[in-house]
Structure 1
């Protein structure tokens, strides 16, 4: 191989090393807490309508919302 090939390879290795060292550091995101959800609430005296199934309405509010778990789901994993 000619000498220029070794120079190009050295520049490539140095460039890869500098790129690796200057990459942005990753941070793990904070898990979502129940307080982070913003559900619209009704006002006192607002008329209420009841829907069963999937429905679309132009004006909606949330009177109640599902049974959200506050404990982690634990599963048994691994090889059998």
Structure 2
């Protein structure tokens, strides 16, 4: 998962990936990616934007079923 994360995540997000079995790392990667994708789509930038322009954090082991996350979003300045 580190190759994918290095391409699309901020340094802090990559550093937050757990030193754990591979399945746990992939779970964190999936959570971070989902949060990034949702945030970029919510502000109508979509995945055409640099995904490293948004930083999110994984919360650890997910609970069963649906869950929600709160985001504080700082958008890059318009050119």
Structure whose CA Rg is larger: 1
> With structure 2 as the length reference, what TM-score do the two structures score?
0.25
Greater RCO (Cα-Cα under 8 Å, separation 6 or more) = 2
Greater helix proportion: 2
